[in-house]
Amino acid sequence: MKPHQPFAKHYHCIIVVSSVLTFYLKGNVAFFPPRTQRCLLLQKCRTGMTKDNLPSIKEPSTTKTGLKYHYFRSTLTVDSLERCSNPAVLFCNGFRSSMTGTKAIFLEEHCKSKDLSYCRFDYRGHGLSSPETFLEMTLSDWICDAETILLDVLLKDHSQVMLVGSSMGAWIATHLALRYPDKIAGIVGIAPAVDFTQKVLYEKATDEQKNDWLSKGIAYFPSKYESNPYPITWRFIQDGKEKWQLLDNATLSNKIPNGCPVHLLHGQCDIDIPWMTSLELAERLSTSNVMLTLIKDGDHRLSRPQDMQQMSAALDGLLQRIKTS
């Protein structure tokens, strides 16, 4: 990681509210180099839905590729034959999380209270989307899954979508924004786990785990979130490094060509993904419309009531900025 320049060079306003520290990032718009290599599976996953196939709130719906999802439709879309101009909200889960998680459910209730269309879903290998296939999946597959929901569910009713990504989901959301700059209205990133396959899993792996990758193709990592260790395949590590790295990708010429507004939230007590990852991501995004909120006593999950209030406030703030821009 390159040393950071003094804060005064990059930030024109610092606001401290209780234990929350928010940076307003000032940057220069960079040129748009060629995009990162796209997942070869994306074209295969574009399947359609019709307006007659209205998703259920009580029971999960299923895409033609087998993805399970919940979709709350704004009243502005149900009786309209035109796509709604208000952005919908898509929640992208973290690694080994599901659409029934605390943040996903909280955000749904928040969006329903504001009559915003909202979708949460399970990547393949997670939750209700064929969890037994987890070891077969890589980041390419999960980016493909998020794109399927974006194109075949939300963009059928809406012109734009706001992405809320938690941990790995924020990494995925950033790639969606790079590929659909006219369709993504903004991103709320919660403890972004950008490049975590290399920066966290590989670089912190023990010699024994690295030997297991070489000899068995799989290594196991202890987890404080599950009783059993996480199974991590070498294919997953390679896929993340070769196709999807952002912060160490030399082809981006030190800037990630993202044009939509972004609000990042990160706990300074996060022992899984260092909060400096969010700072580096904020610096590397080419858009000048970036905010970074540091929650001094927050952990990685940021699932306490006060953390989720920060998340919903960040979403509301981005929506308001879009309306007034």
Q: Which residues participate in catalysis according to the annotation?
A: 167, 270, 300
> Is the Cβ–Cβ distance between 322 and 185 less than 8 Å?
yes
> Is the Cβ–Cβ distance between 298 and 268 less than 8 Å?
yes
Rounded-to-integer distance, Cα 165 and Cα 121, Å:
12
Name 295's Cβ contacts closer than 8 Å, sequence gap at least 6. 19, 20, 21, 265, 266, 267, 268, 302, 307, 310
| Cα 156 off chain centre by | 21
Rounded-to-integer distance, Cα 128 and Cα 69, Å:
9
> Is the Cβ–Cβ distance between 94 and 230 less than 8 Å?
no
Which residue(s) pair with 70 in the sheet? 120
Helix (H, G, I), strand (E, B) or coil at 285: strand
Is the Cα torsion angle 244, 246, 250, 252 positive or negative in sign? Answer: positive
Rounded-to-integer distance, Cα 99 and Cα 119, Å:
9
- Residue 137: CA count within 13 A, CB half-sphere: 20
Rounded-to-integer distance, Cα 125 and Cα 142, Å:
9
